[in-house]
Amino acid sequence: MFDPITLDQLRAFVSVVEEGSFSAAARKLRRVQSAISTSMANLEAQLGVTLWDRTTKVARLTNEGQAVLASTRRVLAEVDGLRRLTTGLTMGLEASVSLCVDAFFPLKALIDLCGAFTQEFPAVDLRIDTQVRSAVSARVLDGRATLGVVSPEGMARGLEAQALSPIRMLPVAGPDHPLAAIQGRIATRHFADAIQIVLSECTDDGVSDQVGLSPRVWRVGDLYTKHEMLRAGLGWGNLPEHLIREDLRAGTLVALRPAAWGNHARELNLVAIYRSDTEFGPAHRWLLEQLTLLCAREARRQR
C-alpha cells in the first residue's frame, strides 16, 4: 500500500514548477533544498511515476509530470474552495443564495450583479430564476427563492419589501407600423384598430393584464416574444427602456407619444421582496444592497 500523499507534497510540487527549480521553491517555502528534493522523491515513489527529468542541470517535468501537474492544481483548488466554504460557514456565510427577478429587470444589471457576486463570494452557489409578476412572489413564498424582485402589483401578501429604483417604460412599434408614421402626439382614435401586445401571466390567479388604449389585444407569455413581435410590426406595446436602447438608435423600433398619456413617463416600480422569517447572512445582505445600487445606476442612465 502506498503511503498517503500529503497536501504539503502537492503544494511543494506546484511551487517547484512555478518557481522554476528546487532551490527557488525551497526559498519561497522557507525550507532547505534537501527537504524539497526528498518531498519530490517521496511523491514520485508514492505515485509510481517519474515527475522530473533530472538529466539536465535544472530538473524539468516529464510528460507524466505534466499530466500530474494539471490534476494536482485541480485538487489544490478544490481544497482551497473547501477551506473558504468552511471558513465562511463558521462566520455565518450561506452555502447558497437564490434570486428570482421579474422579466422586466435590466439584464445588464443582472449580469453585473452575478459577476460581482462571484468575486465577493466565490464559495457560495448562486441560483437565478426569471419569472413574471406574481410568479416571482410564488417562488419566494414557497422557498424556491430567498430574494425576489418584482413590481408591487405582483407582490403577494405576507412578504417584506424594499423599494428599488423604477424602470422607465416606453410605448413603441416597428418602423413600418402605421402608428410609427404619426409625428408628435397620437390621438386615441388611431389606436382603435391597432393591436396592443401585452405580457400576460400564464395562471388564472395572476396579476391582471395591463392593457391600455387598444381594444384589440394579443397576449404573450415572455418578454422576448413581445420584443420580437413589436420589432416585426405586428402591434404596439410598452417595453422597458433598457431593453430597447439599441433598437431606438438603430430605428428597428420607434417611440410613440399617445396623447392620452401626456408628458409623464410611464414607470414600472420595482421592489425587492423576501419572507419575514428569512434570516439573512452576509451574502444575502450584500445581494440586497447591490440590487439597490444597480437599479439606481440604471435609473440614472434613463435620464
- Render pLDDT for 183-214 as a digit per residue (tens, 0 to 9): 999 999 999 989 999 988 755 554 445 556 88
Per-residue pLDDT band at 71 (split at 50, 70, 90): confident
The rounded distance, in Å, linking the Cα atoms of 231 and 163 is 32
Whether pTM exceeds 0.85: no
- Which range among 9-18, 227-236, 284-293 has the greatest average pLDDT? 227-236
At position 279, the amino acid (one-letter code) is: E
pLDDT tens for 232-266 read: 999 999 999 999 999 999 999 999 999 988 777 68
Domains annotated on the chain, with CATH: 7-90 (1.10.10.10), 96-166+269-301 (3.40.190.10), 167-268 (3.40.190.290)
More confident residue, 1 or 57: 57
Chain mean pLDDT for the chain: 85
Instruction: Give the separation between CA 240 and CA 253, rounded to whole angstroms.
Output: 12
Chain center to CA of 43? 42
Q: What is the pLDDT of residue 235?
A: 94
Instruction: Specify whether the CB–CB gap between 229 and 220 falls below 8 A.
Output: yes
CA trace torsion 85, 86, 90, 94 (10° rounding): 30
CA atoms within 13 A on the CB side of 207: 23
**For position 206, what pLDDT does the model report?**
47
pLDDT in tens, 25-56: 888 888 888 888 888 888 888 888 888 888 87
Spell 143-174 as b/e; 16+ CB within 10 A means b: eebbbbbbbeebbeeebeeeebbbbbbbbbbb
Calculate the alpha carbon distances from 144 to 108, 151, 211 in Å.
24, 19, 30
Cell readout for 145 is 427563492
Q: What is the Cα–Cα distance from 289 to 286, expressed in whole angstroms?
A: 5
pLDDT of 122-168, one tens digit each? 888 899 999 988 889 999 999 899 999 998 888 888 888 989 888 88
Residue 1 has what pLDDT? 41
